[in-house]
Every structure is written in structure tokens, then in C-alpha cells.
């Protein structure tokens, strides 16, 4: 891991020079990241987030308390959380992620005998407010699909991307990682590797299937010919290289603006996918499986979104509607 270059705003009169992590801190952070990657199979995005959180915490410990990570106690943890909330004005969701990283990190250290005491053992995880997901209605989905310029060189690809996002409820990283081997058009399903490298099978649906097959038949070979390479990813750039989730966000944002829609991102289509399934009468457990949620409590938030369905049920079954 590279030398630590992040600085932390001090809340004492200590030097404000950029701190440098000790070799010991680098080693234990690397050991922990290897553990959660190989043994727990956590996603790359989670690895990056936890790496950033622990590097920043290491800087805080050195600058504020002159202690390495294995030498902190509950007081240091408490001061760090106070610092995140008061000096960095961090959102509750981000603080919760820092807490999760610290708790997992120190459980790892104590289980490996690298730390005699777990300073996060009695740390309670506060529950943040759950924000209801913002979803699109059916007319907005139609407008988004129609906004793809048929004359654009990448129109077939962009059409297939939007159809697949909406039809399958994929995360941006899952769509960018989708490979030819995981597309089973003859069965009408795709195989997705999600968070924690968990596998799930998702039906495609006729419109998405037709759009993806047309893209793979008519456009994708031409894009691959530009680079002369044979990448396994289904969706590639104009230069024939795999597109990442950032590019997916950018293309979706540009198309949504052309449709007169704002703040449309891949996760909004994922929210819409789940909400529209539930409004059509889908079982909550099925939606949980399709989304790849490990906890059904995460899926249940979508039951609060579809107010129209609740009103219809009430109107049909209540004795005094």
C-alpha cells in the first residue's frame, strides 16, 4: 500500500503536517483487506471504501494520539467518531460505514491475536434514518428509452443498457462486469455475480433480450474490431474496451437529460425495477432474491414506496372504502 498522504484536521495544537502511517499500520491494514477479499469475498467497492476509512483512521490516531492502530482504546474510537460528526460534518450513512469498517477490522485483529483487546466490542451501531428510494413511473421509463438517439453510433448499446438495467435491477458494477458466458439468451436469463461474489440468476424479459441480442449481433463485433481484442465483457466502449460503472452513470445521465429527466442513475432504475415488481403483485422474497439482498429488511423498504397499490388493496377489501 502506498505511503499515507491523507491529512486530518487536528482538534489540538499538534503539527498540521501530513502524517505518515507506520509500517505496522500498513501491514495490518493489508492483512485485513486480504482477509475480507479472499475469505469473505467482499466486493471491490467495499474493499476500496474500507481501505480509505482505515487509512484515514490511522492518520487520525497518529496525529491526535501518537498511537498505531493496534494501540487504540475506546476513548480513541469515541474521539474519532466525534471528529467525523462534528469536524467533518459527515452524513450518518458515512459514519455508519466507518463504524462497520472499524468493528470488522478489530474483530479481525483480536481473532488473529494481533490485538489483546477489541476497542469496538461494546460500540453500538446507531441506526440511521431510512430514506425512501426515489423511483420512476412507467411514462418516465418510456421517455428514457425513447430518448436514445437512433442515429448515435452507440445507440444499440445504450438501448440495451437501459433495457437491462430496468428489466433486471442490476447494480452498475454488475452490468459492467457482465460477460458473454453469463448471458443465456436461449433460456432468457443472465447469471450475475453480485456483492460478496454471490451468484444469482435473473430473467431478462423479451424487450431487454431483443435489445441485447441486437446489440451483440450488430454493434458489439464492430466495436471489438476497433481494438482487435476479444474482451469477455458484454458492454464495451467505442474503442472496444470494457466500460466501467462511471461511464454507465455518465451515459445514463446524458440520455436522461435528453429525455427531460434529471438525476436518473443506475440505482434509480434498480429501485424502479423492485417497486414495479411489487406493484404487479410479486412476492417480497422473490424480489429479494432478484435484487441479491442478503437481508429481507433491505427489500422491505420498497413496500413503503408503492402507495397506489396500498390504496387499491384498501379500496377493494375494506368494508368502508
Please check whether residues 55 and 179 belong to one and the same domain.
no
Number of domains making up the chain? 2
| Catalytic-residue membership of 270 | yes
pLDDT tens, residue by residue, 163-200: 999 999 999 989 999 999 999 989 999 999 887 778 99
| Catalytic-residue membership of 302 | yes
| Catalytic-residue membership of 171 | yes
Please check whether residues 125 and 153 belong to one and the same domain.
no
pLDDT tens, residue by residue, 67-109: 899 888 999 999 999 999 888 888 887 888 899 899 999 999 9
Indicate the residue among 74, 106, 129 that finishes a domain: 129
Helix (H), strand (E), coil (C) string for 209-247: HHHHHHHHHHHHHHHHHHHCCCCCECCECCCCCECCHHH
Q: In what order do the strands lie in the sheet with 199-203?
A: 183-184, 189-193, 199-203
Indicate the residue among 84, 107, 129 that finishes a domain: 129
Question: What is the model's pLDDT at position 12?
Answer: 36
Of the listed 103, 114, 195, 245, which one is catalytic? Answer: 195
| Residue 89 within any structural domain of the chain | yes
Which CATH number goes with the domain that contains 99? 1.10.150.130
Q: Which three cell numbers stand for residue 105?
A: 477490522
Dump the DSSP string for 293-312.
-SSHHHHGGGGGT-HHHHHH
pLDDT at residue 53 above 60? yes
Nearest to 182 by CA among 240, 244, 233, 237: 233
Burial status of residue 39 (CB atoms within 10 A of its CB: 0-12, 13-18, 19 or more): exposed
Please check whether residues 56 and 162 belong to one and the same domain.
no
Of the listed 50, 80, 83, 302, which one is catalytic? Answer: 302
Strand-pair partners of 183: 190
Question: What is the model's pLDDT at position 131?
Answer: 64
| Catalytic-residue membership of 114 | no
Of the listed 26, 270, 271, 276, which one is catalytic? Answer: 270
Please check whether residues 110 and 235 belong to one and the same domain.
no
Whether pTM exceeds 0.85: no
Question: What is the model's pLDDT at position 10?
Answer: 36
| Catalytic-residue membership of 112 | no
Of the listed 56, 171, 209, 271, which one is catalytic? Answer: 171
Considering the chain, what percentage of its residues have pLDDT values greater than 70?
88
- Look up the domain containing 296 and give its range: 138-315
Question: What is the model's pLDDT at position 7?
Answer: 36
Question: What is the model's pLDDT at position 87?
Answer: 86
| Residue 321 within any structural domain of the chain | no
Please check whether residues 121 and 260 belong to one and the same domain.
no
Question: What is the model's pLDDT at position 143?
Answer: 95
| Residue 179 within any structural domain of the chain | yes
Tell me the mean pLDDT in the region 287-305: 84
| Catalytic-residue membership of 200 | no
Amino acid at each position: 500500500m502506498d505511503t499515507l498522504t491523507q491529512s486530518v484536521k487536528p482538534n489540538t495544537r499538534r503539527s498540521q503536517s501530513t502524517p505518515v502511517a507506520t509500517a505496522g499500520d500498513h501491514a495490518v491494514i493489508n492483512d485485513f483487506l486480504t482477509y475480507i477479499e479472499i475469505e469473505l469475498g467482499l466486493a471491490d467497492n467495499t474493499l476500496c471504501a474500507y481501505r480509505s476509512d482505515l487509512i484515514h483512521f490511522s492518520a487520525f490516531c497518529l496525529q491526535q494520539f501518537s498511537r498505531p492502530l493496534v494501540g487504540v482504546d475506546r476513548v480513541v474510537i469515541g474521539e474519532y467518531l466525534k471528529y467525523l460528526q462534528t469536524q467533518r460534518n459527515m452524513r450518518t450513512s458515512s459514519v455508519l460505514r466507518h463504524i462497520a469498517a472499524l468493528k470488522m477490522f478489530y474483530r479481525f485483529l483480536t481473532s488473529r491475536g494481533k490485538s489483546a483487546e477489541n476497542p469496538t466490542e461494546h460500540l453500538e451501531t446507531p441506526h440511521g434514518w431510512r430514506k425512501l428510494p426515489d423511483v420512476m413511473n412507467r411514462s418516465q421509463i418510456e421517455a428514457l428509452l425513447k430518448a436514445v438517439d437512433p442515429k448515435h453510433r452507440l445507440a444499440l448499446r445504450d438501448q440495451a443498457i437501459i433495457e437491462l438495467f430496468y428489466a433486471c435491477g442490476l447494480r452498475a458494477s454488475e452490468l459492467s462486469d457482465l460477460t458473454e458466458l453469463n448471458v443465456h439468451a436461449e433460456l432468457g436469463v443472465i447469471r450475475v455475480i453480485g456483492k460478496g461474489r454471490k451468484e444469482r440468476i435473473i430473467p431478462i424479459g423479451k424487450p431487454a433480450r431483443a435489445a441485447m441480442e441486437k446489440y451483440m449481433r450488430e454493434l458489439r463485433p464492430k466495436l471489438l474490431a476497433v481494438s482487435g481484442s476479444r474482451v469477455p465483457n458484454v458492454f464495451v466502449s467505442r474503442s472496444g474496451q470494457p466500460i466501467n460503472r462511471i461511464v454507465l452513470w455518465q451515459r445514463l445521465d446524458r440520455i436522461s437529460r435528453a429525455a427531460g429527466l434529471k438525476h436518473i442513475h443506475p440505482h434509480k432504475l434498480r429501485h424502479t425495477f423492485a417497486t414495479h415488481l411489487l406493484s404487479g403483485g410479486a412476492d417480497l422474497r422473490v424480489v429479494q432474491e432478484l435484487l441479491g439482498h442478503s437481508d429481507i429488511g433491505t427489500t422491505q423498504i420498497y413496500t413503503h414506496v408503492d402507495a397506489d397499490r396500498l390504496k387499491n388493496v384498501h379500496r377493494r377489501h375494506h368494508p368502508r372504502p
